[in-house]
Amino acid sequence: MACRSVFDASAVKSDFESAGISPNFVPLVWKHVLKNPNCRWDEIPSLPSAAYALLNSKFMPCTSTLHSAVDSSDQVTTKLLIKLKNGEFVEAVVMRYDTRLGKYDGKPRPGGPRATLCISSQVGCKMGCNFCATGSMGFKSNLSSGEILEQLVHASQISAIRNVVFMGMGEPLNNYAAVVEAIRVMTAPPFQLSPKKITVSTVGIIHAINKLHGDMPNLNLAVSLHAPVQDIRCQIMPAARAFPLEKLMNALQKYQTISQQKIFIEYIMLDGVNDEEQHAHQLGKLLETFDVVVNLIPFNPIGSLSPYRSSKDQRVVEFQKTLRGTYNIRTTVRKQMGQDISGACGQLVVKRSSKTANLITDIEDLHI
């Protein structure tokens, strides 16, 4: 039997208990591996002798390996290409910046240096959004909770990670159990990330949204809306046919009523498709009863994989003005970063020879 990742939490804790070993030792193992991903089990001090035998027979410190790490020219972003034990690859992106630099809505940003990890939950994606390169891969496999957490382990060797966004490859809520288990480990020792610093992005998997707050309170929810009416959503996001806009908005209203938390709305700006004044008013009316932040995302061209063009800068500004001025909806334009490496919003596709990209800024910038 192939060894599993020691970060597959339910498996390792269950096996410890079955062997009569307290699962309280598991976080000690994780702490050591987090600092030493290539360690041998006998290097970890103070475990019961039975734990060493169990770990040697059933688990590996990391089942994945860091294949490459490519820095942007400004050293702000790093794209990680991670090889899984089955030979497949996933990408993750580390974004580093100082929140004291720049302003938001005319006010200085609080805080200081920090890093955010954009993490993948699947190899490929079955959603098929036709503005997204990852969708061109199709769906290959779900990641285990351990494989999700190992991205954080690899990234932590490069930067101290404070925020995690599930905005990499895949639809997180289509791999619900593994994502939830991974987040539970992220928010416990030794990682100890705050749930408020973790954001899960979804195209709108209604039944999973209905479960999410009960399983993961205080988590940030981001919804890839991308259009204010169902027919445009279906045009650019084929999976939207299974999640009608009216039912999705009802689910979000219920989620917000229960959670009392702001919801982030992601809206990619496509020239002549969803960026006209009428679309801004439709979006404003759709969201005016919600407590939301709308992120207007410049479209990152993906070559022949998509027919779309980026909205003109002035169109984006006018769209933002309509949402803010007419509907009083907090709206930001997501800045592009690190244009010399492949790791952008919508551009994560495993093509190791690819050289062109625009990197997203961090959704966590919105926590002011």
Would you mind telling me the total number of residues written for the chain in this entry?
A: 368
**Contact 46/68 with Cβ under 8 angstroms?**
no
Pairwise CA distance, residues 142 & 121, whole Å: 7
Report the distance separating Cα 194 and Cα 357, nearest Å.
Answer: 30
**Residue of 247, 120, 233 whose CA lies nearest to 172:** 120
Distances, alpha carbon 120 to alpha carbons 44, 77, 143, in Å:
29, 16, 8
Which residue shows structure tokens 């990619």? 268
| Residue 87 CB burial class (10 angstroms; 0-12, 13-18, ≥19) | exposed
Active site residue 62: no
In this structure, is the dihedral angle defined by the CA atoms of residues 160, 165, 166 and 167, taken in order, positive or negative? Answer: negative
The single residue of 62, 91, 147, 181 carrying the catalytic annotation is 91
Would residue 91 show up in a list of annotated catalytic residues for this protein?
yes
Task: Say which residues have a Cβ less than 8 Å from residue 63's Cβ, sequence separation at least 6.
Answer: 3, 4, 5, 84, 85, 146, 147, 150
Radius of gyration, CA atoms only, the chain: 21
Catalytic-role residue among 62, 118, 129, 345: 345
Q: Which token pair is 319?
A: 């769209």
Instruction: Kindly list the catalytic residues.
Output: 91, 345
